[in-house]
């Protein structure tokens, strides 16, 4: 495949996330990036947030985590522009985390089947240790009713890579069989609101317009 001549202004771009999906999206869009996952304790940050506070929205959680990742990496690389991102899944006022094992993944899919949940994705840019831009978006996904046997076959076929997805599915692969409908941006579902990020990079003259 011929590489699109996407020219950057020489600004160093770092993705402060170890997500293979996010790095692939950025590189497929023609960006030259480095991947330096942020060394942050996401579980501790989530635990510290007061989700019972009426002013705390699920999107705030995703944004705080994205900012923390970006600012942590940016503090160590102040000359670079660091991309931070995070995604959370909400279903019936419950916020889900990534499944540590297949049994938890199975329980998550059994819970989500037949209902509609939200995926909320946040992305931000940090420079000199501070966030200079952020964006939060959400999509609504309705999961069709599925048998336990189907879920078991899916997990066996998909393998451990599904544990890297908070919803235990990958829309761009076998996970497409799960859904009755999806309302929202495709890239938001994948965990990175790509279009507003690219527009911001053009506005900041990092990319040619």
Q: Quick one: CA torsion of 57, 200, 132, 84, rounded to 10 degrees?
A: 60
CA distance 95 to 103: 18
Catalytic residue of the set 86, 93, 101, 130: 86
DSSP letters of 41-83? -HHHHHHHS-TTSTT--HHHHHHHHHHHHHHHHHHH-TTSEEE
| C-beta of residue 128 within 8 angstroms of C-beta of residue 135 | no
Task: Quote the distance between the C-alpha of residue 41 and its chain's center.
Answer: 16
- Establish whether 137 is a catalytic residue: no
Spatial neighbors of 120 by CB under 8 A, at least 6 apart, are 58, 59, 62, 87, 88, 89, 90, 136, 137, 138
SS3 16: coil
Catalytic residues: 86
């Amino acid at each position: 495949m011929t590489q699109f001549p996407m020219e950057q202004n020489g600004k160093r771009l770092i993705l402060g996330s170890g997500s293979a999906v996010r790095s692939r999206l950025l590189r497929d869009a023609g960006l030259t990036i480095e991947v330096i996952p942020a060394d942050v304790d996401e579980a501790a940050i989530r635990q510290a947030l007061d989700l019972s506070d009426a002013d705390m929205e699920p999107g705030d959680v995703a944004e705080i985590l994205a900012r923390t990742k970006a600012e942590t990496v940016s503090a160590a690389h102040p000359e670079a522009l660091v991309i931070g991102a995070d995604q959370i899944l909400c279903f019936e006022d419950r916020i889900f985390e990534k499944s540590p094992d297949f049994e938890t993944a199975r329980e998550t899919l059994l819970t989500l089947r037949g209902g509609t949940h939200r995926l909320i994705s946040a992305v931000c840019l940090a420079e000199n240790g501070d966030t200079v831009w952020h964006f939060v978006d959400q999509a609504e996904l309705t999961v069709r009713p599925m048998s336990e046997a189907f879920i078991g076959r899916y997990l066996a076929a998909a393998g451990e890579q599904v544990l890297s997805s908070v919803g235990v599915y990958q829309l761009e692969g076998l996970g497409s069989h799960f859904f009755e409908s999806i309302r929202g941006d495709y890239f938001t579902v994948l965990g990175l609101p790509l279009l507003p990020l690219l527009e911001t990079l053009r506005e900041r003259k990092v990319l040619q317009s």
